[in-house]
Every structure is written in structure tokens, then in C-alpha cells.
Amino acid sequence: MSDDVTAWFTGRLPDTWFTEKPAITVDREEILLVGTLPPLAEQFQDEAATAAAESGRIARWREETRDHRIEIARQAEHRYGRKVAWGARVGGTEELFTTLSVPVMTRLRQPERRTLDTLVDAGVARSRSEALAWAVRLVGKHAEEWLADLRTAMTTVEDLRTKGPNL
């Protein structure tokens, strides 16, 4: 499905929005599209000013393209049965907007709950839910290569299934 989604958005997005092909990520609930905007022409005296200017550029793009993005998202949501989230990056700044926060049910035994409670008690997270999200992001960050290999293997298995006999 992600190949079809990427092709559809490639054909649907205005050529002037991004300087390169946008990154499109698909999961069970959401399609996330993040595009790179043209770089800033000015130089700024420090990183904070540069980050503020980049954030401002993203905010301007978000406002200027809102109606068009909503229409594209509406069509994609109808076609693919998933919500569409948007994001943009300029230089070192990336911002996501209209993203979903989906509840995920899990059962944890006491050792795992104690780990989450330690993160909450230490002020790393405000709740068990936030602590679990933090832990998942940390694992994803440190295991990205392994996760990429796993996703590739899953795609290969899916390709083989589709080529198999219909029962």
C-alpha cells in the first residue's frame, strides 16, 4: 500500500511545495507526509535565531497551504481509510502538525510497571502513558537499523504471499 500512497501523493501534490520528494510514512491509522521547504536566504547570528526563522517559515507555509492540504487529505482519507498528518522541515527544524495520538492497550507485569513508575517518579515523564511513549521512542532511536531490516523482511514476506496461490 505504501507504494500506491507515495505514487498518489506524488501525483497530487503541487510541484512548488517542496524542494525534494516528501517522506511518506504509513501505519494502520495514519499517513504522515513530511516535506522539505526551500532553505532560508538569510544568515542569522545564532542557532536560536535560525531556529526561530525556520519555525516561522514552516508556520507561514502551513497557513498558506491549509485549504489545499485539507482537500488533499480529505481525498486521501477517503481513498485509503486513514487520517493524513502533515509536517515540514527547513534546515535543522522539523515540525509535525495534525498528527494523531492513538491509544494503545497493553498489559504489563509488575517489573515493567515499576520501570514506568520510576520514570514518572524521577520526573522523566508525567504519567505511565508518557513514560511508555518515551521508552518506545528511545528503543526506536537506538534500534532503527534493526527495525528497518525487519520492515524490509516483512515487505518481502508480503510480496511472496501476494504471489502465492489463491485458495
pTM score, whole prediction:
0.73
Q: What is the pLDDT along the chain (167 residues), one digit of tens a residue?
A: 678 999 999 999 999 999 999 999 999 899 999 999 999 998 889 999 999 999 999 999 999 999 999 999 999 999 999 999 999 999 999 999 988 888 888 899 998 999 999 999 999 899 999 999 999 888 888 888 888 888 889 888 888 888 888 77
Q: Domain coordinates of the chain in residue numbers?
A: 1-96, 110-163
Partner residues linked to 26 by β-bridges: 31
Residue 112, Cα to own-chain centre: how many angstroms?
27
CA dihedral 9, 35, 136, 131 (to 10 degrees): -120
Contact (Cβ atoms closer than 8 angstroms) between residue 86 and residue 33 = yes
